[in-house]
Amino acid sequence: MKSLESSRVGTIISQPGGYEAFIPKNLHPDGADITIDAECMKLLSEAERALGELKGITELLPNPDLFVAFYVRKEALLSSQIEGTQCSLDEVIRVDETTHTTHQVEEVVNYIKAMKYGLERLQELPMSLRLVHEIHEKLMEKVRGSDKTPGEYKRTQNWIGPPGGTLQEANYVPPPPDIMIELMGDFENYYHSKDDLPDLIKTAVLHSHFETIHPYLDGNGRLGRLLITFMLCEKNILSRPLLYLSLFFKKYRTEYYEYLMNIRFKGQWEEWIKFFLTGVRSTSLEASSTAREILQLQTKDRNAIKKHLRKHKLAISCYDYVCQQPILTIPQTVKTLDSTYPTVQKVFAGFHTLGILTPYGSRERNKIFQYENYLDIMRRGT
């Protein structure tokens, strides 16, 4: 590991196995001793304003929950891509339609399931280590790392370093298991403590602290990014899970890891917080822009359907399903809408004439269709 330049956040301690590990200081009850300067206050104000704009624009959507559901898929993909998962948004969308999925796609699907599960559990269980365990178990089920005790803390030392590298060659060695359990208790206590830090800044501190502790053998990065959204929803900063920072973290992946390392070895809390707030502002504005484009597209296409396909009673219901599943087949739609093949086929023909649906791929039998204009908006950044 690097040499420690500041003991502000923690210290490096030699372990019985002949290696060194980083041990962060407890956050509870004294907090992280953050200095909020004028630049930080400006970024905080801009981030909060951008979040408010995002909340407002999504309320105008015909089905905001549909937008959220699709955005969760994109976030799941981006968060997994940060750690090397190789699959496309199209593969994630088609996972229900295909009979065989790769482990790469299943990792992304698990992220979606874990997100949904955790948000539902928040209705009956407060943010807690128990809930974090449950979410981690969902995240790791039957995918890479599923043999590393999902839903349970690590029992052996983990580390971050080059592929195939040894513990002694690691770039970062988090706290060993015996110390880590106490640190996670401190993490939970600090989460629920009352202090003067604005919630967005406290969320930034908690995310970095979770990654520093690295409590599980695998999945810490994906879980840590997922927890950002849970924290903001649980604290009522978000009414819907709309803020996903993985697009920003993926774009600035090198800087993201550097800022986390600089907290540990240089004590640079403030630099990380400014980076985090910049990400909140940037991601919120991007999501607002996306929501506006989708609103304009859906308004235009709905009006076209009402004008030109009035005789097809199923047209609007079919369009709603197309928005939910923008890569689809006629049989799939027939089954979902409990309709008949000829009825859906006529609606699809009308959608094709209006430019709403286009062929996906070159299959002649059981043709696949796509809502291409919608997908073009949502594919950005992936």
Q: What percent of the chain has pLDDT over 70?
A: 95
Q: Which residue has the higher pLDDT, 237 or 179?
A: 179
Surface-to-core class of residue 21, CB atoms within 10 Å of its CB (0-12 exposed, 13-18 middle, 19+ buried): buried
Angle of the 269-308 helix axis to the 341-353 helix axis, nearest 10: 110
Residue 146 has pLDDT above 80, yes or no: no
List domains and CATH numbers for the chain.
10-289 (1.10.3290.10), 309-378 (1.10.10.10)
Task: Specify whether the CB–CB gap between 193 and 29 falls below 8 A.
Answer: yes
DSSP-derived 3-state class of residue 11: strand
pLDDT for residue 228:
93
pLDDT for residue 196:
87
Taking residues 259-270, report their average pLDDT: 97
Q: What percent of the chain has pLDDT over 90?
A: 59
Q: Which residue has the higher pLDDT, 111 or 353?
A: 353
Residue 295 has pLDDT above 70, yes or no: yes
Taking residues 200-217, report their average pLDDT: 97
pLDDT for residue 104:
59
Taking residues 200-226, report their average pLDDT: 95
pLDDT for residue 99:
42
pLDDT for residue 100:
46
Range from 71-85, 176-190, 215-229 carrying the lowest mean pLDDT: 71-85
Task: Specify whether the CB–CB gap between 291 and 70 falls below 8 A.
Answer: no
DSSP-derived 3-state class of residue 172: strand
The single residue listed with the structure tokens 């559901």 is 69
pLDDT for residue 47:
97
Residue 24 has pLDDT above 80, yes or no: yes
pLDDT for residue 291:
86
* Reported confidence tier of residue 57, pLDDT bands at 50, 70, 90: confident
Taking residues 7-33, report their average pLDDT: 93
d(CA 314, CA 21): 62
Residue 194 has pLDDT above 50, yes or no: yes
Q: Residues near 150 by Cβ (< 8 Å), separated by ≥ 6? A: 136, 137, 139, 140, 141, 219
d(CA 214, CA 177): 10
pLDDT for residue 86:
63
Element (H, E) at 329: strand 327-329
Residue 94 has pLDDT above 80, yes or no: no
d(CA 76, CA 339): 32
* Reported confidence tier of residue 164, pLDDT bands at 50, 70, 90: confident
Residue 177 has pLDDT above 80, yes or no: yes
Taking residues 63-91, report their average pLDDT: 74
Taking residues 173-179, report their average pLDDT: 96
Range from 112-116, 155-159, 278-282 carrying the lowest mean pLDDT: 112-116
* Reported confidence tier of residue 369, pLDDT bands at 50, 70, 90: very high
Taking residues 57-77, report their average pLDDT: 77
Task: Specify whether the CB–CB gap between 148 and 217 falls below 8 A.
Answer: yes
Measured in residues, the chain has a length of: 382
Residue 82 has pLDDT above 50, yes or no: yes
Residue 175 has pLDDT above 90, yes or no: yes
